[in-house]
């Protein structure tokens, strides 16, 4: 898939701290939703990232409001983000509902799993 075909989310740190984007994406790619088998980057769960007062503020959503793995995914996301940027991390859980259009790789629709 070409970069143009990806639905990659652009965070505020792309403009303010571009050197943090790649390490953060790589580290957060290790956080996998065990039910779906895709990571938080692929799923588009990391909705916004910005650095304020030397603290990384990360806004994320879950695939469902009552995801049974939600607390573990949130905690691992925080841990991996801190490892990547070497700064404290605050996570805000957004109320935005997740849907398949948020997938970073739209070819996931071709799996035949989603109608």
Indicate the domain borders of the chain. Answer: 1-9+47-105
Contact 70/62 with Cβ under 8 angstroms? yes
Phi, psi of 111 (to 5 degrees): -65, -20
Residue 1 confidence (pLDDT) above 50:
no
Q: What is the pLDDT of residues 50-96, one digit of tens each?
A: 999 999 999 999 999 888 999 999 999 999 999 999 999 999 999 99
- What pLDDT is attached to residue 82? 98
Q: How far apart are CA 20 and CA 39, in angstroms?
A: 19
Contact 71/60 with Cβ under 8 angstroms? no
Please state whether the predicted TM-score (pTM) of the whole model is above 0.85. Answer: yes
């Amino acid at each position: 898939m070409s970069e143009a075909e990806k639905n990659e989310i652009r965070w505020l740190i792309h403009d303010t701290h571009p050197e943090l984007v790649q390490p953060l994406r790589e580290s957060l790619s290790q956080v996998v939703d065990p039910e779906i088998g895709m990571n938080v980057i692929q799923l588009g769960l990391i909705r916004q990232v910005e650095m304020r007062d030397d603290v990384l503020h990360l806004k994320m959503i879950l695939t469902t409001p009552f995801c049974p793995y939600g607390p573990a995914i949130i905690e691992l996301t925080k841990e991996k983000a801190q490892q990547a940027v070497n700064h404290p991390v605050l996570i805000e859980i957004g109320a935005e509902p997740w849907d398949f259009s948020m997938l970073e790789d739209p070819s996931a629709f071709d799996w035949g799993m989603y109608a």
